[in-house]
């Protein structure tokens, strides 16, 4: 694959944020990384019985409705 320098290609960064098993924001995630924490644990958000794997990197504590300022229900 040959990359061509094209002045019309643009990248726009509109903010910084993170949502991962180590934290729901940048500062908590960074502190977890520095402390050597792992985001991998036993699955708790659904019943993993039919699966071969019983552990994952779940994003716990995140509610997309609440984080958008909406009221659930």
6 falls within a domain: no
pLDDT at residue 3, rounded to an integer: 61
Q: How many domains does the chain have?
A: 1
Residue 15 lies in a domain: no
Eight-class DSSP state of 9 = -
pLDDT of residue 64: 74
Kindly state whether residue 21 falls inside one of the protein's structural domains: no
Q: What is the pLDDT of residue 4?
A: 67
Could you list the residue range(s) of the whole structural domain that residue 37 is in? 26-67
In-domain check, residue 17? no
Contact 19, 28 (CB under 8 A): no
In a domain, 37, yes or no: yes
42 bridge partner residues: 55
Residue 16 lies in a domain: no
User: Which residue numbers in the chain have pLDDT < 70?
Assistant: 1-4, 13-16, 66-73
Closest CA to 22 of 56, 49, 57: 57
């Amino acid at each position: 694959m040959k990359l061509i320098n094209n002045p019309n290609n643009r990248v726009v960064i509109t903010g910084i944020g993170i949502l991962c098993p180590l934290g729901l924001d940048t500062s908590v995630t960074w502190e977890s990384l520095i402390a050597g924490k792992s985001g991998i644990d036993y699955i708790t958000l659904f019943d993993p019985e039919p699966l071969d794997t019983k552990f994952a990197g779940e994003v716990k504590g995140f509610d997309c409705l609440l984080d958008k300022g909406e009221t659930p229900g």
